[in-house]
Amino acid sequence: MATNLKNLSDYDASKVPDAGKMKFGIVVSEWNNEITDVLCKGAYETLRQNGAQEGNIFVKTVPGSFELTLGAQFLAEYGEFDAIICIGCIIKGETPHFDYICDSVTKGITDLNIKYNKPFIFCVLTTNNINQARERAGGKHGNKGDEAAITAIKMAALGSQMRILKG
């Protein structure tokens, strides 16, 4: 759904599973940190508001959005997480670099979901300018970090339910 039709911070709390026993990794790009810091704060606070324990939320940074995939893979390989949130912000410039980075990060995060059979949540803004990014990082469209946290909780709960079915 288009962001302009939905506030990224709105969710029905009654439909969010309790995250009290879940463990989350968050990998955050340092590039465009004016935006990524706000997204990370939103994700962290939303996880906490939905029961996640402070000691069960592990945050690591990487230099840029391109490095999110490997940073998330490191979290998956060296930690026991129910879900990993990948936070970045790619702002279109004057060269095709934007397209290459967006494509690579999207494919990389998608591949991690399949490789590890666990949720890697795509919280990477891909905007035309800094104002669009600000609108999605606590501005008029809410905070994409909030949405990513709710998605992480719901997908972690779904994975847990499926493992129970499998026995």
Residues 85 and 48 sit within 8 Å (Cβ to Cβ): no
Bin 138: left if φ > 0, else alpha if -120 < ψ < 50, else beta.
left
φ, ψ of residue 143 to 5 degrees: the values are -125, 115
Residue 24 burial (C-beta neighbours within 10 Å; 0-12, 13-18, 19+): buried
Residues 57 and 92 sit within 8 Å (Cβ to Cβ): no
Residue 53 burial (C-beta neighbours within 10 Å; 0-12, 13-18, 19+): middle
Among candidates 67, 111, 112, which has minimal Cα distance to 90?
Answer: 67
| Catalytic machinery residues | 97
